[in-house]
């Protein structure tokens, strides 16, 4: 098991390095560079050359990549080109709490409920409950995020008046309940989005294991279906379920641009979009690597959870 975990860790490190190279080279291919963007079109060649030397852009590309990578690993993400030299860590400090709290609240509420609903659907396949849940989950998969958010705003903000359509105000010093009230519509919309995948995946994974010979033997012995699923089938079905959970959590960190704009709260995803719009290459590189690291770490955790929970992976022989 230790060898499998170390192999997964090595693959994760190689993935991050490969993504860092792709990020760096793709941004180098774009027309213009950081010095030209910062000084503008009317800057003289001498000023541009001086700034290029200051930023290290006059060095060979391999040296530039190495300097950038070592700075990133040491925690120095550089300074923003579009914000008059403000450190990127300072820009993130004003944004990361929104992304972090929304992600944690959505995961704490949406993931357990979705998995429970999917497992219940696997307990009673073909019943009216299963068909309704399948229909709702497929509908949510087809529904765009902004559509779900719009429906929630119409019902809870416009009609019932129990919530605000725009998330405004500082969240400093808020308790968990206050944070949940502050982000209630955002969390509700994201719960619906991730539930559409988690319900279907958990149901399919459990039903796939239920066709195994050892499950059929347990059924012939008269073991109840609920006990079979919870005590025997679920652990062998945990692998694909954990992977889907990890992918959805990574999506909550980096892929909720539409909902951040819709509810007007500023997270890391909108900061990334602003960096692309202003051609702030250094900001885009830093945030891109952070999002990549989040994906890799979550997938590594999912792989380790799959190995630990499944005896066939712990003892492949």
Q: Where are the domains of the chain?
A: 2-93, 96-265
> Rounded to an integer, what distance in angstroms lies between the CA atom of residue 240 and that of residue 221?
28
- β-sheet bridge partners, residue 87: 79
pLDDT at 238: 80
Cβ 255 vs Cβ 103: under 8 Å: no
How is residue 47 annotated by DSSP? H
Q: Give the pLDDT score at 87.
A: 84
Asked if 51 and 37 touch (Cβ cutoff 8 Å), the reply is no
- CB 69 within 8 Å of CB 20: yes
Structure tokens at 93: 């400090």
Exposure b/e, 199-211, CB count within 10 A at least 16 = b: bbbbbebbbebbe
Q: Distance between CA atoms of 237 and 234, rounded to whole angstroms? A: 5
Contact assessment for residue 256 and residue 269, using Cβ atoms and an 8 Å cutoff: yes
CATH topology (fold) of 96-265: MetI-like fold (1.10.3720)
Q: List the pLDDT tens digit at each of the 317 positions of the chain.
A: 677 778 888 888 888 889 888 888 887 777 666 666 667 667 777 877 887 777 777 788 888 888 888 888 888 887 877 777 788 888 888 788 888 888 899 999 999 999 899 888 888 888 888 899 888 888 888 888 888 888 988 988 888 877 777 777 777 778 888 888 888 888 898 999 888 888 988 888 888 888 788 888 888 888 887 788 877 777 777 878 888 888 888 888 877 888 888 888 888 888 888 887 777 778 888 888 888 888 888 888 888 877 777 666 666 55
Output phi, psi for 60, to 5 deg.
Answer: -60, 150
Q: How far is CA 205 from the centre of its chain?
A: 22
Q: Taking a C-beta distance cutoff of 8 angstroms, is the pair 209, 173 a contact?
A: no
Structure-block tokens of residue 159: 């009609």
Q: What is the pLDDT of residue 113?
A: 92
Strand partners, 79: 87
- Which pTM does this prediction carry? 0.80
Q: Strand, coil or helix: what is 103?
A: helix
User: Tokens representing 127?
Assistant: 């019943």
């Amino acid at each position: 098991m230790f060898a499998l975990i170390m192999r997964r860790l090595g693959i994760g490190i190689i993935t991050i390095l490969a993504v860092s190279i792709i990020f760096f080279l793709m941004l180098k291919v774009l027309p213009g560079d950081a010095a030209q963007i910062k000084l503008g079109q009317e800057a003289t060649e001498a000023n541009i050359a001086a700034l290029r030397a200051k930023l290290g852009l006059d060095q060979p590309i391999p040296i530039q990549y190495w300097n950038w990578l070592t700075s990133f690993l040491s925690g120095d993400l550089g300074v923003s080109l579009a914000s008059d030299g403000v450190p990127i860590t300072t820009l993130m400090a004003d944004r990361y709490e929104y992304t972090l709290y929304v992600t944690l609240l959505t995961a704490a509420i949406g993931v357990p409920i979705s998995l429970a609903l999917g497992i219940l659907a696997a307990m009673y396949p073909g019943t009216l409950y299963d068909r309704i849940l399948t229909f709702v989950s497929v509908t949510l998969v087809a529904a765009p995020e902004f559509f779900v958010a719009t429906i929630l705003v119409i019902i809870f903000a416009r009609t019932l008046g129990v919530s605000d359509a725009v998330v405004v105000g500082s969240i400093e010093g808020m308790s968990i309940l206050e944070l949940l009230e502050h982000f209630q519509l955002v969390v509700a919309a994201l719960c619906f989005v991730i539930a559409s995948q988690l319900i279907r995946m958990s149901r399919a994974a459990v039903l796939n294991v239920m066709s195994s010979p050892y499950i059929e033997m347990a059924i012939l012995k008269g073991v109840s279906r609920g006990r079979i699923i919870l005590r025997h089938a679920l652990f062998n079905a945990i692998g694909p379920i954990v992977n889907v959970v990890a992918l959805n959590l990574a999506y909550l960190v980096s892929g909720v641009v539409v909902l951040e704009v819709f509810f007007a709260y500023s997270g890391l995803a909108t900061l990334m979009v602003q960096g692309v719009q202003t051609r702030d290459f250094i900001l885009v590189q830093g945030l891109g690597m952070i999002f990549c690291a989040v994906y890799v770490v979550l997938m590594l955790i999912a792989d380790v959870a799959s190995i630990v929970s499944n005896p066939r992976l712990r003892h492949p022989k």
